[in-house]
Amino acid sequence: MIETTEIEQRVARTDALPAPLKPLERLAWNYWWSWAADGASIFRDLDSEIWEECEHNPRELLAKTSAYRLAEAATDPVYLERVSRVDQIFQSYMALSPHWQHQDKTITPEHPVAYFCAEFGVHTSLPLYSGGLGILAGDHLKSASDLGLPLVGIGLLYRYGYFRQRLRNDGWQEEHYGETYPNDLPIHLLKNADGSPLRIEVLIRERNVLAQVWRADVGRVPLYLLDTNIPENVETDRWVTGHLYGGDRETRIVQEMLLGIGGVRLLRKLGIAPSVFHLNEGHSAFLTLELAREMVQTEQQPFSGAIDKVRQQCVFTTHTPVAAGNDEFDASLVTRVFGPAYLKELGLTEEEFLSLGRVEPDNKTERYGLTPLAIRMCRSTNGVSQKHGEVSRALWQKLWPGKPLAEVPITYVTNGVHAPTWISPLLRYLLEKYVGQDWDTKLRDESVWAEAVARIPDAELWAAHVRLKERLVAFIRHRSLQSRITAGDSPDYIEAAKTMFDPAALTIGFARRVAGYKRWNLILTDRERLLKLINNEERPVQFVFAGKAHPQDEGSKSVLQQLAQWKYDPAVRQRAVFLEDYDQEIARQLVQSVDVWLNVPRRPQEASGTSGEKVAINGGLNFSILDGWWLEGYDGANGFAIGNGTNDGTVAEIDACDAESLYRTLEAGVVPLFYHRDGDGLPHNWIAMMKRSIQSLAPKYNSDRMVEDYARKIY
C-alpha cells in the first residue's frame, strides 16, 4: 500500500554545511565522483560508518554527518586540499562541451542520442538495476560522458527496485524489498517554469497515467527517470514503477508502455530532438510506435509511410540469446492495455497493430513479441558479442524469409566495461604512474597498454594485488561476521568468521545470477575432487560466491541452498563463502581482488558477459567457457579456457565434459602456475599472464571502445 501523503524529505540538514565544505555538495549531486580518483574516499573519510550505513549515498552522508565531524573536516587543511583538487577536476570536466563529429554524422546536445533502458546500474546508491543489463547501461552513460558524446538516458525510477537477498539458516533464499526515497538521493525532480512538477501523461488501460520525472547526473550525461508514484494517480497506477521485474505480465507491459511512450513525450517536453533513439533491449520498443503516432498525427501520413522515417531514427540492441528470454505478451493483453484510442491515432486496425509484434504477421495464434517489433521498427539491430551476433542472426532469420543466414542484417558490438568505475584505486595508481595521469583517455590504444604494463616491475604489480586480496579477505570476514550475527548463529561460528580465508591462498571468484544456463552446480559435479582442491594443505584453493536466483526459480534456489549449506561444513567453511545480496559493491570488491574469475555458462547462452572484463582490467585471470566476450578475448596465453569449444552430445554429456575440463585445468594448470614461486618468492609466470591479460584485454573490452563503436557504426 502506497501512502497517499507526499513523499517527505527524510533527511534534511537544518544547519548548513560549513563554507569550506561547499564543494562536496556540488560533487554529491553528480555521480561523476563515483569514478573519479579520490572521489569516493573524500566522502567516506567524512564518516566511514555512515558511509557504509547509507550505502555510499553522498547526499545522505552529508545530511547525516554530525556538525562536529563536519567542523573537524572543515578545519583540516589536508582534507580540504583533497576536496578542492577533486572539485577542480570536476569543474574542468564539466566545462568541456560535448560534441561528436564522425564522417557525416553530427550528434549535438540539441540532437543527442536518446538511450532507453529498463534498468540503469550507475551506482550502488541508486538501486535501479538487477544485473548485467543495468550495469552495462550505466557504463554506457559514463563512457558517453567521458568521450563527449551527447547522450541522454531514459529509464524508470522504481520505488522498490529489485529484490534484496537474504539466506535463511538452511540456505533457502528469501527476498525482501528496500524502499527508495527519491528525496534522499542525489536526483532532482524536474519542474516547470512556474515551479510545479513537470509531468507527462500516457493513456494506459484507458486511464490517464501521470508520471513525474527525476534527473540523475552522470558526468555530462543526464539520466531521466519516470515515476508514477504521485497522488493524482489511482493506486494501481502508482505501482507501475513499483518494482523492477517484480510484477506480473500486465505490470511488465504497462511499465514498457510508460518507458517507451512516456519517454518520447518527455523528450518532446524538454525540447530535445534526438538524432537517434537507442533501444537497449526490447523493453523500450513501444517508443517506435509513439514516434509513428506523432508522424501520423502531425504530418497526416499513413502509418505505412511513417514506418520508414521511424526506422531511420531508431537502433536496437538485443541481449538475449535464447528465444524464451524475449519479452512476449498475449495479443488480448496488448490490445487491452493500449486501448482503441491509441490504435486509432496510429491509423491501424487491431490486426495490423498486432502483426507488428509477430514473426509471421498473419499468424493470429502468435504472441506479441517486443523483439520482432523492435527489429521491424529499427534500421539497425545488433547483438553484444561476435558470437551473439551470429546466434541472433540464426534466431531471427525467420523475420527475413528466404534470406540466407549470412545476409541477415544483424551485426554486433561487443560489450565493454567502464574502466575508471571498475578499476581498484591501487591499480589506477600504477597506471597513472606508468601510463600517465591521462591513462583513462588512452584506454583504447593497445600500444600504450602494451608498453606501459610491460614497464611495471613484477614485484610492484604483485604487491598491489596482494594488498587487494588482503582487503578482500577483510571484506569477506566483515560481511560474514555481520550476516552470522544477524542470523543468530552460534558464538563459535560467529567467532570463526574472524579467521576465515587466507590472503596467500589462490582465490577464485564466482558471482553471477543463479540461473540454469550459468551452471552453478557444474563445480559441484565431483565433490570429492573439489574438496581435495580446497583442502590441499600446501596449495589450497578458496572460493567466493555471490548471486541472486529469480524469486520464482525453485530449481536455482535449491542449487543455491546446496552451496550455502557448505557454510556449516567444517571441511570447507574457512575456505568457501557465499556473500549475500550480490550488488555493484560486492562486484567491485570481487573483481578488483580475486586471482581467478570462473565462468561456466552453457554455450552459446552467454550473450557477452562483462564481469570477467572487469576482472581483466584489474589483473585477475579469466578461467571460463569459450562463449560471449571470452570467445573473442582469449588468445591462449592471457587466461584459461574451459571445454573444447564444441557442442557435441547431449546436455548431460556436455556438462560432464566441461566439468572434467574444469577440474583438470584447475589441477594441472591454474593451481601449479599460481603456486610456483621463483627464487625471489614471486610467481613470475603467473604475473606474466596477469600482464598479458591486462595488455590484450583492457584496450578492447572497455566501454569507451564500445560506445565509440556504437557512435561510428550504429548511430
Ligand X SMILES: *Cc1c(COP(=O)(O)O)cnc(C)c1O
List 260, 609, 620, 633, residue binding ligand X (CB under 6 A): 609
Q: Among candidates 232, 258, 255, which has minimal Cα distance to 245?
A: 255
Name which of 557 and 614 has its Cβ closer to ligand X: 614
The three cell numbers locating residue 24 = 562536496
State the minimum distance, in angstroms, from the CB of residue 513 to ligand X.
7
State the minimum distance, in angstroms, from the CB of residue 582 to ligand X.
6
State the minimum distance, in angstroms, from the CB of residue 634 to ligand X.
15
Name which of 566 and 582 has its Cβ closer to ligand X: 582
List 556, 611, 696, 703, residue binding ligand X (CB under 6 A): 611
Residues 560-599: x/- map of binding to ligand X (CB under 6 A)? ----------------------xxx--x------------
- Write 689-693 long-range contacts (CB < 8 A, 24+): 689/621, 689/637, 689/638, 689/639, 690/461, 690/465, 690/619, 690/620, 690/621, 691/453, 691/454, 691/456, 691/461, 691/619, 692/635, 692/637, 692/638, 693/616, 693/619, 693/620, 693/621, 693/622, 693/638, 693/639
Name which of 55 and 294 has its Cβ closer to ligand X: 55
CA geometry: angle 64, 34, 437, nearest 5 deg: 135
Question: CB of 161 within 8 A of CB of 243?
Answer: yes
State the minimum distance, in angstroms, from the CB of residue 248 to ligand X.
24
State the minimum distance, in angstroms, from the CB of residue 564 to ligand X.
19
State the minimum distance, in angstroms, from the CB of residue 120 to ligand X.
12
Q: Among candidates 294, 389, 383, which has minimal Cα distance to 345?
A: 294
Amino acid at 347: G
DSSP E strands: which ranges in 63-124?
100-102, 105-107, 113-116
State the minimum distance, in angstroms, from the CB of residue 584 to ligand X.
5
List 241, 421, 610, 696, residue binding ligand X (CB under 6 A): 610
Residue 125, helix vs strand vs coil:
coil
List 123, 512, 567, 705, residue binding ligand X (CB under 6 A): 512
Spatial neighbors of 392 by CB under 8 A, at least 6 apart, are 318, 321, 381, 383, 410, 412
* 421 alpha carbon, distance to own chain's centre: 11
Name which of 34 and 584 has its Cβ closer to ligand X: 584
State the minimum distance, in angstroms, from the CB of residue 626 to ligand X.
15
615 lies in the binding site for ligand X (CB under 6 A): no
Q: Characterize the bridge pairing of strands 328-329 and 368-369.
A: antiparallel
Name which of 369 and 612 has its Cβ closer to ligand X: 612
- Residue 202 forms beta bridges with which residues? 209
State the minimum distance, in angstroms, from the CB of residue 703 to ligand X.
11
Residues 123-142: x/- map of binding to ligand X (CB under 6 A)? --------xx--x-------
- Using CB under 6 A, count the residues that bind ligand X: 12
Rg (CA), the chain: 26
In angstroms, rounded to a whole number, what is the distance separating the alpha carbons of residues 338 and 293?
Answer: 13
Question: CB of 228 within 8 A of CB of 240?
Answer: yes
State the minimum distance, in angstroms, from the CB of residue 40 to ligand X.
16
> Candidates 171-179, 197-205, 456-464, 609-617 — which segment interacts with ligand X by CB under 6 A?
609-617
Name which of 146 and 583 has its Cβ closer to ligand X: 583
Name which of 358 and 614 has its Cβ closer to ligand X: 614
State the minimum distance, in angstroms, from the CB of residue 301 to ligand X.
42
> Candidates 169-177, 191-199, 484-492, 608-616 — which segment interacts with ligand X by CB under 6 A?
608-616
- Residue 225 — φ and ψ, nearest 5°? -125, 120
Q: Characterize the bridge pairing of strands 640-642 and 151-156.
A: unpaired
> Candidates 280-288, 457-465, 529-537, 610-618 — which segment interacts with ligand X by CB under 6 A?
610-618
Amino acid at 479: R
Binding site for ligand X (CB under 6 A): 131-132, 135, 512, 582-584, 587, 609-611, 614
